[in-house]
Amino acid sequence: MRNIIIISGPSGCGKSTLIHMLLNEFPELQFSVSHTTRPKRAGELDGRDYHFVSETRFAAMVRDGRFVEKAAVHGHHYGTSWQEIRAKSGQGRILVLDIDVQGARSIKAKFPEAMAIFVVPPTLAALKKRLRQRQQQLDHEARRRLAAAMKELRAYPLYDYVVVNNDVASAYADLCCLVVAFRLQRTRSAGQVRKLLRPKP
Ligand code: 5GP
């Protein structure tokens, strides 16, 4: 499986906004919709943002071997299904996985050609500010997310590229460069060159 882009980053790094922008820009990018047991948030749609499932259903899927990778994040279960990967790959499409570092580790182990990008905040202060804004105040949940973010940051050697989200426009420009470079990899465009080499009648 050569057509996988993994995008990870600690909670509050602005990753979701950047992923939405990329999906609007590149028609060949397909978002991998994960399964999760966490409750749906306001504005989220089942089947678009996640496949929201019960703990029982998730456990049954695990038992049946239906996940390529799965992880527990912030007290909930998340997983990428084989079905999702199969349905959205092929025909020049590139699958975008928004997954945590545990998921990135599993996917890289199974598909080493996947490109793994880590989005990080510019400073710790900026991350704290974003988490505080999100949670309204630096309460228990925000503190827990900050501790989790620090743990995630330590996993950076797993990734091929790091994008610093200092401001959205430049982080987005960096991501676009990476997507274009990925698209132009020889292994993906060899067909074009072979066509040129075909003897003319
Ligand atoms: P949220 O609940 O805020 O949407 O996501 C929480 C974290 O779970 C994020 O870091 C996100 O990247 C990660 N995540 C979402 N789907 C998956 C998945 O299928 N597998 C793994 N390993 N992590 C996921």
Question: For residue 56, what pLDDT is reported?
Answer: 98
Is the beta carbon of 84 within 6 A of some atom in ligand 1?
A: no
Q: Name the one residue in this structure whose structure tokens are 């882009």.
A: 5
- What digits encode the pLDDT tens for the residues 120-168? 999 999 988 888 877 655 577 778 888 889 999 999 999 999 999 999 9
Query: Which residues lie below 8 Å from residue 21, measured CB to CB, with a gap of 6+?
Result: 168, 172, 175
Domain ranges of the chain: 4-32+93-197
Does residue 125 contact residue 59 with C-beta atoms inside 8 Å? no
Q: Which residues of the chain have pLDDT under 70?
A: 135-138
73 CB within 6 A, ligand 1: yes
The domain defined by 4-32+93-197 folds into Rossmann fold (3.40.50)
Is ligand 1 within 6 A of the CB of residue 121? no
Encode 99-110: b = buried (16+ Cβ within 10 Å), e = exposed: bbbbbbbbbbee
CA nearest ligand 1 atom 21, residue: 99
- pTM (two decimals): 0.93
